[in-house]
Amino acid sequence: MVLMLSEVALPDDGVKHQESAMSLFVNGEDAGSGVLCVAESRLAWRDAQGRGVSVEYPRVSLHAVSRDPNTFPQHHLYVMLNGKLRAEDSAGDGAKGDEEEEDDDDDDDDDDDDPITELRFVPRDSSSLEALFTAMCECQALHPDLDEVLSEDDIYDDDVGEGDTGNGGHQRWYGDQEGLGMLTSTGRATLAHLDGLLADASSRALSFGMGGVRERNGTEPDDGMEVDATSQIPPYGETGQFDDADDDV
């Protein structure tokens, strides 16, 4: 497969990190060396001829720092895109003509197979990978997945009462004074019983020392903190392909 790159413009505003001498590999194919720009609006890479790729963050499903030589011989910033690398990804302004739109229609069947595109950005100095990853995280956070963000209407509904179902089956929550007024006589009795249990538990806890806690062996620690003498901190697990990873799905 021959990798076709179009002219691309690097972002001017909101640039978080920019680095030259950055090699790009697209699905394992060497695209050459160029400038990588991590901006708030998009991720862009351009070679000396002005050609490259420009990707908006909603298309990024995963980015990570890869140091696994079994996967790739060089340390790099790994970026996974949803779908194939499209024509608009190689255009600085994201524009495309009617002919390209027709080509996209022809590729609809391929899109149903959930293809991905793997971008590997290899810096000349691998010590810059942490800064690149941090910049990617900051910019990605500015473009949350709208399908995963709950609106306030999904959590609160002021038109229904406690225990009632209304629009969407949501419940209304009351404050302390308002809630007391809504209780029945049985509810008030239950609340009084619970208050008594809490008060009794608090009085017993005072006999155990500060914070009402003990050591597991029954002795009282000097600082009042619970101690489990048998607990051990598990060893840090072996690293996999990605030392850092940010799942953007």
pLDDT at site 5 = 86
Quick one: 197 exposed, middle or buried, by C-beta within 10 A (0-12, 13-18, 19+)? exposed
97: which residues sit within 8 A by CB, 6+ positions away?
none
Helix (H) / strand (E) element for 21: namely strand 15-26
pLDDT at site 197 = 74
Q: Measure CA of the first residue to CA of the last residue in the chain; give whole Å.
A: 28
Domain boundaries of the chain, sorted by first residue: 6-149
Reported as a single tens digit per residue, the pLDDT across 150-170 is 554 554 444 444 444 444 555
pLDDT at site 91 = 58
Instruction: Write phi, then psi, for 195 (nearest 5 degrees).
Output: -60, -40
pLDDT at site 165 = 47
Helices and strands (H, E) in the chain, number of each type: 5, 9
CATH of domain 6-149: 2.30.29.30
Return the residue matching tokens 């908006």.
Answer: 56
| Residue ranges in the chain whose pLDDT is less than 50 | 94-105, 108, 110-111, 152, 155-167, 208-239
Instruction: Write phi, then psi, for 10 (nearest 5 degrees).
Output: -80, 145
In three-state secondary structure terms, 77 is strand
pLDDT at site 188 = 74
* Model confidence, pTM: 0.56
pLDDT at site 191 = 73
Q: How far apart are CA 97 and CA 13, in angstroms?
A: 26
Residue 230 and residue 241 in contact, taking contact as beta carbons nearer than 8 Å? no
pLDDT at site 186 = 75
Residue 172 and residue 158 in contact, taking contact as beta carbons nearer than 8 Å? yes
